[in-house]
Amino acid sequence: MPLILCHSPVGGVGTTFLTAHLALGLASRGYDVTAIDFTHADALKLFFGMLPTQEIPAMTDAASEGIVVDGVELLSGHAAAQSGSFGRLLAQHATSPFDDDRIVIADVASADLALKTSLLSHAALHLCALAPQPTSLAALAKVQPGTPTIDLEQTVFVLNQLDDTRKLSRHSQIFLRALFGEKLIATVRRDEAVNEALASFQPVARYAKQSVVLSDLATLTAAIETRCGFVSREDRAQ
């Protein structure tokens, strides 16, 4: 199974939120999924309803298995990302450092460009989150410096925190749709229930079952599933 790399050139656009819910969405469709938090913030686990004090096993610890929440195996990759041995392993483009039997979804901090570049050579898909904000749109040229954004074959985009009541938000969606076409793979609406659930240490699907973001996230997951050509366990068994 492939690696999906979640990285945006600018922070604060919801990359970790989307990583978590893409992992949960694929797991609910019957896939074996591992989500790896490569960030220093260690925030991925919070979207699974875990507490900040709860530790996630490091992927460098061969003797331990990840914590499984709602069908998703959670691992911390921050220590690995700082190690030279992992970097050397990533440099061997013909050898994947990840389990071939699982879909691996990597959350990479916006500032960690070196890790993003190293992981990209192993990724089947790069999911880039954007927000309807000037700083986010201005960072489009930095998605992969030196390559026009529309020419990035591995990259698809999702517009997060969309608010149809705001002019800039509406116009951002129109602009990105005209620019990227089908590579703007989904939009996710803004809902304060996301932050409320996070503050309550609950997954949004349990805290706010009627949240508009849930249908948007399901659309995103289905689009990624189609784009990557995944075949679920149920379909494989038929």
* pLDDT at residue number 82: 87
At position 62, the amino acid (one-letter code) is A
As a residue count, the chain comes to 238
Look at strands 155-162 and 33-37 and give their pairing.
unpaired
Q: Which pLDDT score is estimated for 92?
A: 82
Rounded-to-integer distance, Cα 153 and Cα 129, Å = 16
Q: d(Cα 79, Cα 32) in Å, to the nearest integer?
A: 23
pTM for this prediction: 0.94
Chain-centroid distance, C-alpha 202:
19
CA distance 220 to 18: 9
pLDDT at 182 (0 to 100): 93
**Computed from CA positions of residues 170, 175, 181, 187, in that sequence, does the dihedral angle turn out positive or negative?**
negative
d(CA 189, CA 191): 6
Given its phi and psi angles, is residue 39 left (phi above 0), alpha (psi -120 to 50 degrees) or beta?
beta
Dihedral sign (CA 84, 8, 108, 157): negative
Q: How many helices (H) and strands (E) does the chain have?
A: 10, 8
Q: Please give the pLDDT value at position 86.
A: 84
Domains and CATH numbers, the chain: 3-232 (3.40.50.300)
Residue 233 buriedness (CB in 10 A; 0-12 / 13-18 / 19+): exposed
DSSP for 200-230, written as a single string: TT--HHHH-TT-HHHHHHHHHHHHHHHHHT-
The pLDDT score that the predictor gives to residue 124 is 93
Instruction: List the pLDDT tens digit at each of the 238 positions of the chain.
Output: 689 999 999 999 999 999 999 999 999 999 999 999 999 999 999 999 999 999 999 987 755 677 999 999 999 999 988 887 888 888 887 777 887 789 999 999 999 999 999 999 999 999 999 999 999 999 999 999 888 888 899 999 999 999 999 999 999 999 999 999 999 999 999 999 999 999 999 999 999 999 999 999 999 999 999 999 987 666 655 5
Residue 173 CA to residue 179 CA, distance in Å, equals: 10
- Distance (Å, whole) CA 30 – CA 28: 5
